[in-house]
Structure 1
Amino acid sequence: MLETSTPPGALGAASLYSQALSGPGGAWSCDLATETVSWTDGVYDLFEIRRGQTLHRSMALDVYQSQSRSEMERHRAAAIRSGKGFVLDCQLRSGGRSRWMRLRLGVSYDQGRPIRIFGSKQDVTAEKKMWDGLVTVSSKDPLTGLTNRRAFEEATRELSRHANESHGFALAVVAIDDVEGLRERHDHAGAVDCLRCVGERLARLFPDAILVARIGGAEFALLLRGGTAKAMEATLANAHRLLARPVPRGSGAIELQLSIGAALLKPSHSNDPKRLFAEADSALYVARAAGGNVVRVFDGMIARPPATAPIQAAGLSL
């Protein structure tokens, strides 16, 4: 979800800010010494704040969904330290509505010191809906040929009804990290190539899975048979190494990073099938909070890393 760039000089910063002013959405800037914030009208509208109102940074932060706010703050601090800009899609919530914003940030300098951050903020809610909507038009995902989210959720509900009788099943969620960065660096077609490649790899790596699906823009899910938690951890850790190999494209390759979160099916899920998804999503969140490109398995109230080093699991090959 992140793209970095080299720190711009004073003239480069001015040019980039001019592009933000003339581009889609709106432009913004923040003086690092005073934290004074400046927005164009498009940003006021995006955050649903009255145009021209005196701004405080806390007013904008209150509109961010909590996970997006934490991720944005982390990248913002890193950009100020390193001078490297980024592109990040953030979820906003206000007035009971949820929207997606694409944040672009650059850093400008004076005598080698960062003095200002600036960039653009663009509403990409429609793009997100279009991207995610591709997986709900039928029982099959048109991009990867895998099961789509709706059919996967129906299968998960059915499996959960038999949780008291079943042992050794798990739900794993696999997400491509930095998908917005992939689009920026390799265009939409490159991102689609990554989606298709990950889908193909999942199908080959887990031929005995109950179901393999694409459940979101850059997220996949697996219903797996497997014994103990340790065995599941080892299988996913080993699969992660193979899934995250570079994706061939033309004469080169696209570097890929993936996060995986998983949860084991338990009798308690029989009355609440959504809880299994919530636990796997919690593990995925912990994986991404740890920097991404790792595996985490839900264990009670937390998601733990694999207890042992990855081992070669039977049938895992590309």
Structure 2
Amino acid sequence: MMTRNNRPRGLHSVPTNADRQGVEAVIDALPIGAVVLSQNGLLQLANDVASNLFDLDERQVDDMSFPDGFGISFHDTHGEVVESQSISSYRADHGDIIDTATVSFENLIGQTVWLEVSRADLRLDDPECSVLLSFRDITELHLSRKRLFAGDVNDQLTGLPRLPAVLEHLASLLESAPDDVGRSNVVMVINFDKLRELNASLGHLRGDEALAETAQRLRDSLPQPHLLGRVVGAEFIAVLQGVDQDFVDDVSDSIHLALTEPVVVEETAVRLRASVGITHISPHDERSPEEIVSSADTAMYVARNKGGGHTVDFGSLQIRDVLED
């Protein structure tokens, strides 16, 4: 059993033949939790953030397999147990594209913690290479969404559908994904940048007016049968049905163009920019609606970290993009 008193500074490691040079310093410096697993699921490295997140030093260790050996059980968004073997045996089927999922676990004091976990192979040319898992704590966001969406189907400020209605719509689309070559269903997560600064300068009431007007511009940019909903705060979601890449690009451009004209609130001109994350849904996509939204959300965060006013496709992300987030 590991204890905090004798915990080594920096990375936690176990004897392994894996080459850790250069990897340790990078992982230890990450602001998010990160662990490295061997292909048979043994924990090789864990940075301080991950150690604190999972209370690794305070758990009784049966073996070094992660997470089972530490008494940790991950559950998906449906409450089903995520088999540890599916984590350790993960292989990227699309080069260096990142695989992301939403999971939960119970910490040592009985609290449910929600995580966005990204998985990638450290060496794409080696089928026996180690697997990197990174964890972002999204508990606060998950709980706020749950409280927010416990009420009406439509958002009171914008009149747009709330996330549960969008997820239900998305679930129905998964049953009838288009088979046309070059066309797919697409989810876009749209976040208005610097809303907090806007509310601080104008007040929440005027900030809400600007947000409602901007939401109407988004609605005007998205013709039927495509759906626009509000997630939380300044975050919106669009579901595009059976579209090609040119249409997706046009919608993205129209969103950014709609924000070039300032919104006037009581003689005050307000300018907002949007960060947009996109994910395409394949005909045989095995992701749940929640996982699809999480993928688009990850791409949106990468776009926002570029300075705002950008669109990022989840399918183009590489491991460095997620880690820099």
TM-score scaled to structure 2, two decimals?
0.51
What is the aligned partner in structure 2 of residue 236 from structure 1? 252
Question: SS where residue 296 of structure 1 aligns?
Answer: strand
What is the aligned partner in structure 2 of residue 191 from structure 1? 207
1:248 and 2:248 equivalent? no
Question: SS where residue 291 of structure 1 aligns?
Answer: coil
Residues 244-267 of structure 1, C-alpha deviations (whole Å, 9 max, x = no match): 532110112112121111112212
The one-letter amino acid paired with 1:181 is: E
Q: Of 166, 170, 173, which aligns to 1:152? A: 166
Show structure 2 runs of 5+ residues with no match: 1-27, 34-106, 115-138, 320-325
Verify the 8 A CA contact 1:229 1:264 in the aligned structure 2. Answer: no
Question: SS where residue 263 of structure 1 aligns?
Answer: strand
* Displacement after TM superposition at 1:181 (Å): 1.1
Alignment of 1:67-216 (within 5 A): 96=111, 133-163=147-177, 165=179, 167-216=183-232
Question: SS where residue 236 of structure 2 aligns?
Answer: strand
Cα gap change, 1:232 to 1:189, in 2 (>3 Å): same
Verify the 8 A CA contact 2:178 2:242 in the aligned structure 1. Answer: no
Cα RMSD of the aligned pairs, angstroms, is 3.9
The one-letter amino acid paired with 2:218 is: L
Verify the 8 A CA contact 2:187 2:239 in the aligned structure 1. Answer: yes
* Displacement after TM superposition at 1:135 (Å): 4.5
Cα gap change, 1:218 to 1:203, in 2 (>3 Å): same
What is the aligned partner in structure 1 of residue 291 from structure 2? 275
Structure 2 CA distance for aligned equivalents of residues 201 and 187 of structure 1: 21
Structure 2 CA distance for aligned equivalents of residues 175 and 97 of structure 1: 27
Structure 1 CA distance for aligned equivalents of residues 150 and 263 of structure 2: 26
What is the aligned partner in structure 1 of residue 303 from structure 2? 287
TM-score scaled to structure 1, two decimals?
0.52
What is the aligned partner in structure 2 of residue 223 from structure 1? 239
Percentage of identical aligned residues: 25
Structure 1 CA distance for aligned equivalents of residues 255 and 167 of structure 2: 23
Structure 2 CA distance for aligned equivalents of residues 173 and 241 of structure 1: 17
* Displacement after TM superposition at 1:300 (Å): 4.8
1:260 and 2:276 equivalent? yes
* Displacement after TM superposition at 1:144 (Å): 0.5
The one-letter amino acid paired with 1:144 is: T
Structure 2 CA distance for aligned equivalents of residues 256 and 207 of structure 1: 22
What is the aligned partner in structure 2 of residue 49 from structure 1? none
* Displacement after TM superposition at 1:136 (Å): 4.0
* Displacement after TM superposition at 1:126 (Å): 9.6
Structure 1 CA distance for aligned equivalents of residues 195 and 143 of structure 2: 15
Question: SS where residue 299 of structure 1 aligns?
Answer: helix
Structure 1 CA distance for aligned equivalents of residues 170 and 292 of structure 2: 9
Residues 145-171 of structure 1, C-alpha deviations (whole Å, 9 max, x = no match): 011111111111111122264743211
* Displacement after TM superposition at 1:65 (Å): 5.8
Structure 2 CA distance for aligned equivalents of residues 239 and 292 of structure 1: 13
Question: SS where residue 215 of structure 1 aligns?
Answer: strand
Specify which structure has the higher proportion of helix.
1
* Displacement after TM superposition at 1:173 (Å): 0.9
The one-letter amino acid paired with 1:291 is: G
* Displacement after TM superposition at 1:209 (Å): 4.1
Verify the 8 A CA contact 2:189 2:235 in the aligned structure 1. Answer: yes
The one-letter amino acid paired with 1:138 is: D
The one-letter amino acid paired with 2:167 is: E
Verify the 8 A CA contact 1:177 1:259 in the aligned structure 2. Answer: yes
Residues 33-62 of structure 1, C-alpha deviations (whole Å, 9 max, x = no match): xxxxxxxxxxxxxxxxxxxxxxxxxxxx99
Structure 2 CA distance for aligned equivalents of residues 176 and 164 of structure 1: 30
The one-letter amino acid paired with 2:254 is: N
Aligned length: 197
Structure 1 CA distance for aligned equivalents of residues 112 and 261 of structure 2: 38
Structure 2 CA distance for aligned equivalents of residues 136 and 177 of structure 1: 26
* Displacement after TM superposition at 1:189 (Å): 0.8
Structure 2 CA distance for aligned equivalents of residues 267 and 297 of structure 1: 18
Question: SS where residue 224 of structure 1 aligns?
Answer: strand
Structure 1 CA distance for aligned equivalents of residues 299 and 279 of structure 2: 8
